[in-house]
Structure 1
């Protein structure tokens, strides 16, 4: 046999053999497979989530209608996913077709890789013979004829063994490189764009509840160099008062915390009888409920009702809820705290149940501590999942359940 002297593109050889009717039918089958894939509802939610994030971040007032709309869409996609799963499990014919079509795709991609890797070492007629058999496989696939498709796929596999057998075994480098590429993509996304974070305690109640899972925008303040706690340059803006941030604890560096920024570089922060003063100006707050109850978690992982007073506080026009002990020590003054350059001063919204900048992230009696810009991992944007008090299944898991009402909750 003579060897081919130039690389052959198997896809081109296949396209040349397809009729216009086959091309149209192939496109329709491709769309059908995409829309009936179990990934389709998840992908739809992901695609809708991107404009949703942009909307609630840039137009906070839109959350009043955007959140219910997103929750409705998410629920619809969940039921669509469940229906697809039931259908796929119930239909043996569909299961057989999916399996055989997957095998056919794998054989095609295998042949493509081999033609690209060793084009000059293959028989001259290899591309034509494989393309002809691949068209037969496609015809059987488009006809949804299971016995015929199985026969043609087996024939294609046998042809591969005859023509490409010496090169079929995937090298160890192919396996390792595929894994490394996937790992690098995941690390890139987590380092630059978005990262999940789970709320472990009640320090940010009622804004964030225990068990909430939030997405953190890692892009807004600048790309942070992992392990070095350095941000070489700012991208969108600097951290601002009112932002809820996830950061690496500057005192215990093996822990990540989530708190609200109250003071920025140069600020003089003071709390007088629970009222926040920034540079001598009291921050407006309004009493909402003197007898509010939130659900907290004990060190023994048992839920308990915590009676608190609830206020609405404004920090630079960022309106958010804060909680305070119904029996505070009065009169009470904390500070003043002078925020150094390149740092922020943070507090939890559950003001009397939070280890934050006021107490050095450790507890009462410790010197105050500030968060360097380089320790900030990003800004909390939205709750994407919540496994907290109540909700679905809570009677089986000690009070912890799936909180559907928390899905897509903006972090304010």
Structure 2
């Protein structure tokens, strides 16, 4: 009797673990998935050490909604396009596996160009307002750059949206580009840290992003820790947490 009870107990434990794993996979597939920010391409919106939840249902579901992106079907189910200005996670087109997070700037048919550091959408210069200097920390050498409030104008019924960007200069490699025409079924993405972002402006590295590669929209930061924090020094954790960023919406 003791042996049977022990065997039954092991079986129940295994079943519980399997059920929990299936529930977790289900939530990550259809609802929310956590991501962390390892680089500074989205500073000041997202900092290195931010942890955020991405809604998987925002743009519908593709094979990239599931763990390991199994090739079960093509296209999107219940699909919809992102709004200009959304911050979204996508699979890098050149390998379909690396997760990138950028701001959605152009939708299919849009004309995107940067001239003298100024973003142009469909031939209209995007307005930006100076917010003064900003010191970038935690992503290489400590430098001071310029911070701007950029406003993407209302287009096709979508309200104008404002967000902060950084510019080290207006004459960097990506500050004067050709005009990009976003093809059907694709979007155009840029990082908010404009001079330190590998994005759709680099056509041979990122380029236009197939809508199928969208994973989801960044919703809110649930945890944030300074890059200098180390896990084996738990007594430093309370001083390393960025308390002001906890449970804050991504805009």
Using the size of structure 2 for normalisation, the TM-score is 0.83
- Do residues 292 (structure 1) and 134 (structure 2) align? yes
- Do residues 262 (structure 1) and 81 (structure 2) align? no
Which residue in 2 is equivalent to 1:168? 5
Q: How many residues matched?
A: 235
Cα deviation for residue 241 of structure 1 reads 0.6
Change (3 A) 1:305 1:327: farther
Which of 1 and 2 has greater Rg?
A: 1
Among candidates 2, 14, 20, match of residue 182 of structure 1: 20
Contact in 2 for aligned 1:231/1:374 (Cα 8 Å) = yes
Runs of 4+ in 1 over 6 A off after TM superposition: 390-394
Which residue in 2 is equivalent to 1:195? 33
3-state SS of 2:40 partner: coil
For residues 145-164 of structure 1, what are the structure 2 equivalents within 5 Å?
none
Which residue in 1 is equivalent to 2:88? 245
Matches of 2:182 and 2:174 in 1, distance apart?
A: 24
Structure that is richer in helix per residue? 1
Which residue in 1 is equivalent to 2:226? 388
Using the size of structure 1 for normalisation, the TM-score is 0.52
Contact in 2 for aligned 1:392/1:401 (Cα 8 Å) = no
Cα deviation for residue 171 of structure 1 reads 6.5
- Do residues 402 (structure 1) and 241 (structure 2) align? yes
Query: Which runs of 5 or more structure 2 residues have no equivalent in the other structure?
Result: 155-159
Matches of 2:74 and 2:174 in 1, distance apart?
A: 41
CA RMSD of aligned residues (A): 2.9
For residues 35-74 of structure 1, what are the structure 2 equivalents within 5 Å?
none
Matches of 1:189 and 1:244 in 2, distance apart?
A: 21
Query: Which runs of 5 or more structure 1 residues have no equivalent in the other structure?
Result: 1-160, 299-303, 361-365
Higher relative contact order (CA 8 A, sep 6+): 2
For residues 180-329 of structure 1, what are the structure 2 equivalents within 5 Å?
180-225=18-63, 226=66, 227=69, 228=71, 230-234=74-78, 237-289=80-132, 291-298=133-140, 304-315=141-152, 316=154, 317-326=160-169, 328-329=171-172
Structure that is richer in strand per residue? 2
Per-residue CA shift, 1:170-227, capped at 9, x if unaligned? 0665443322211111100001100011011110000001100010011111123232
